[in-house]
DNA sequence: AATTTCCGCAACCGCCGCCCT
DNA sequence: GAGGGCGGCGGTTGCGGAAAT
């Protein structure tokens, strides 16, 4: 019954890797490249499961890995990406060069979760923990931009001044996009109205600055630029805010950010 | 100084989806 | 179209070191 094990467990080592095993694995991959993980252990003279070799290489031995602490920038990027992608660690890792899914997953569970809880934000839903108040009102202050404060995409869309009507629904059907069910499920919402167009179809908010003067427009941190650069993607495509917009590969039914989210965020980043 | 508890990280496990036959 | 093989992913576990008692 069931699937046969990926390798003969009786004859494989488990647990921490030794230096010698690492060297063998590195030498083999340098000579033959990645791939064929199932046959690699035998070819490399390792008493390890192929999966174990793959994991060791990807998470620890790869030469392009970035070691050391996560920067604040990476922190925020992870939070934003998690807000939209949920626990899709591999997708998130694809946007953070030199970081692995395992590393990000661990970092999330040990640091970011705590950080968000300290901010009063539910790390799973990205909604304020006392969701009955701030979430409904829609947090929108220069010192705590909606995304950073943990507002969900739903709040971003419906709670902002961008909503053309009181219900928060856009009258333009093209701007309303359903997330894939799995993603929507992760975010704890159903239909999400992500009216996050970059070219603003709406008035920027009126806000009082620290000096007490009322100004219109978005502060630097409030610009919810989900373009490639902010999300750690490469190529600069599909973002009007950088002047170059090549959206040929993007979903025709969506616009602005949503085009980008649809076409790029849910595409395997490793496939360029 | 010894012991216990906590924390972070590497590694494992099982499931899923893609691809090939 | 069905079934099997394989790679990849996400959740979980367990070990080792740090901090607390």
Same structural domain for residues A26 and A57? yes
Q: What is the pLDDT of residues A229-240, one digit of tens each?
A: 444 343 333 333
Residue A66 inside a domain? The answer is no
Phi, psi values for residue A227, rounded to 5°: -75, 180
Residue A29 inside a domain? The answer is yes
Residue A170 inside a domain? The answer is no
Domain tally, chain A = 3
- The candidate with the shortest Cα–Cα distance to A226, out of A67, A61, A85, A65, is A85
Report the CATH number that the domain containing residue A102 is assigned in CATH.
1.10.10.60
**Domain edge (last residue) among A82, A99, A118:** A118
Same structural domain for residues A79 and A114? yes
- The candidate with the shortest Cα–Cα distance to A125, out of A169, A185, A196, A176, is A185
Same structural domain for residues A22 and A51? yes
Residue A111 inside a domain? The answer is yes
Determine the structural domain holding residue A247 and report its residue range: 225-266
- Asked if the Cβ of residue A16 lies within 7 A of any atom of strand C, the reply is yes
- Asked if the Cβ of residue A59 lies within 7 A of any atom of strand B, the reply is yes
Residue A203 inside a domain? The answer is no
Q: What is the pLDDT of residues A14-30, one digit of tens each?
A: 888 999 999 999 999 98
- Asked if the Cβ of residue A113 lies within 7 A of any atom of strand C, the reply is no
Q: What confidence score (pLDDT) does residue A189 get?
A: 38
**Domain edge (last residue) among A39, A61, A83:** A61
Residue A89 inside a domain? The answer is yes
Q: Which of residues 201-230 of A touch strand B (CB under 7 A)?
A: none
Residue A18 inside a domain? The answer is yes
The distance from CA A253 to its chain's CA centroid, rounded to whole angstroms, is 22
> Distance (Å) from CA A267 to C1' B18?
15
Return all residues near A67 (Cβ < 8 A) that are at least 6 apart.
none
Tell me the average pLDDT of chain A: 59
Report d(CA A147, CA A137) in Å as an integer. Answer: 14
- Asked if the Cβ of residue A35 lies within 7 A of any atom of strand C, the reply is yes
Q: What confidence score (pLDDT) does residue A25 get?
A: 92
- Asked if the Cβ of residue A42 lies within 7 A of any atom of strand B, the reply is no
Residue A85 inside a domain? The answer is yes
> Distance (Å) from CA A185 to C1' B17?
20
> Distance (Å) from CA A36 to C1' B20?
15
Do the beta carbons of residue A271 and residue A93 sit within 8 Å? no
Mean pLDDT, consecutive 10-residue stretches, chain A (272 aa), reads 48 85 91 86 89 91 86 89 88 89 90 86 81 38 34 35 33 36 38 34 37 38 37 36 31 34 42 40
Measuring from the CA of residue A6 to each C1', which nucleotide is nearest? C6
> CA Rg, chain A, in Å?
22
Burial bucket for residue A146 (CB in 10 Å: 0-12, 13-18, 19+) = buried
- A272: tokens are 């360029």
User: What does A44-74 look like in DSSP terms, one character per residue?
Assistant: HT--S-HHHHHHHIIIII-TTPPPSPPPHHH
């Amino acid at each position: 019954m069931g699937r046969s094990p990926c390798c003969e467990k009786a004859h494989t080592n488990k647990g921490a890797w030794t230096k010698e095993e690492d060297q063998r694995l590195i030498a083999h991959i340098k000579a033959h490249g990645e791939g064929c993980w199932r046959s690699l252990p035998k070819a490399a003279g390792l008493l390890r499961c192929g999966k174990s070799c793959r994991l060791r290489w990807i998470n620890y031995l790869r030469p392009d890995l970035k070691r050391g602490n996560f920067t604040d920038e990476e922190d925020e990027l992870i939070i934003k990406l998690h807000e939209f992608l949920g626990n899709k660690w591999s997708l998130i890792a694809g946007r953070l060069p030199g970081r692995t899914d395992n590393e990000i997953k661990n970092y999330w569970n040990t640091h970011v979760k705590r950080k968000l809880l300290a901010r009063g934000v539910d790390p799973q839903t990205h909604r304020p923990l006392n969701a009955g108040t701030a979430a409904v009102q829609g947090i929108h202050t220069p010192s705590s931009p909606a995304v950073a404060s943990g507002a969900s995409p739903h709040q971003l869309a419906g709670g902002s001044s961008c909503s053309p009507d009181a219900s928060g629904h856009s009258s333009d059907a093209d701007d309303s996009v359903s997330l894939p069910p799995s993603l929507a499920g992760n975010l704890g919402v159903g239909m999400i109205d992500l009216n996050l167009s970059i070219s603003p179809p709406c008035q920027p908010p009126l806000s009082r600055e620290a000096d007490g003067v009322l100004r219109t427009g978005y502060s630097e941190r409030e610009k919810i630029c989900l373009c490639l650069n902010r999300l750690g993607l490469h190529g600069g495509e599909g973002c009007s805010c950088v002047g170059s917009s090549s959206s040929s590969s993007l979903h025709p039914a969506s616009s602005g950010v949503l085009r980008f989210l649809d076409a790029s965020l849910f595409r395997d980043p490793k496939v360029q």
